[in-house]
Amino acid sequence: MGEWMEEYAATDDLNRKYGLLREEITKLRGQREDIEFFDPDAVRDDVRRWNRTVSGDLIVFVANDFGLPKAYRPRNLDKGVQDEIRQAVLQNKYDDTNEDLNEIRRELLDEHPGIHKVIVAEYENGEPRYHLPEGSNETTNFITVREIAGLIDYTTNSFQSNDQSATY
């Protein structure tokens, strides 16, 4: 067991535990140029396959807590749709009624264990829909709506977004 883990296990101070976790995450993120946390091409292939199971266009946002996030959308779909999904999440918050999209999300997490967080959305007739249970639901791996919107925003609007938004 690593030295930080021993200290983590030994302390009851929640702030110290948080600090130790942040330090370790910082170390791991510093290695992201040297480590491929998930295979972006394999994810793209799976998203393309899952797109055939929905009637609209499938848009998938994925993140590894240590690496850079990625968004996948059909080649013919404008990148601006990603921002429409972000706006829908900000406006509507949680929506746990789209079990078909949740199935895709769970499959993606099972098939790609290096992915920690996923938002699966469908865009059809100008309307986005997504599956997102309340943040306290442990199956999402998200803690807040801000974190969800941040993932979408980073892959859509940041100066790095062209590298983070891929088509299939």
- pLDDT, tens only, 74-106: 999 999 999 999 899 888 888 889 999 999 999
Q: Is pLDDT at 26 greater than 90 in this prediction?
A: no
Share of the chain above pLDDT 90, in %: 45
Average pLDDT, the chain: 85
Distances (CA, A) of 35 to 28, 113, 161: 9, 14, 20
* Closest C-alpha to 71, from 148, 151, 3: 151
Question: In the block, which residue shows the tokens 């993932």?
Answer: 151
d(CA 98, CA 110): 19
pLDDT given at position 143: 58
Which residue has better confidence, 40 or 122? Answer: 122
Q: What pLDDT digit, counting tens, does each position of 112-134 carry?
A: 988 888 889 999 999 999 988 77
Residue 56 is given by DSSP the state S
pLDDT given at position 31: 67
d(CA 139, CA 132): 10
What confidence tier does 166 reach under pLDDT thresholds 50, 70, 90? confident
Say what the pTM is: 0.76
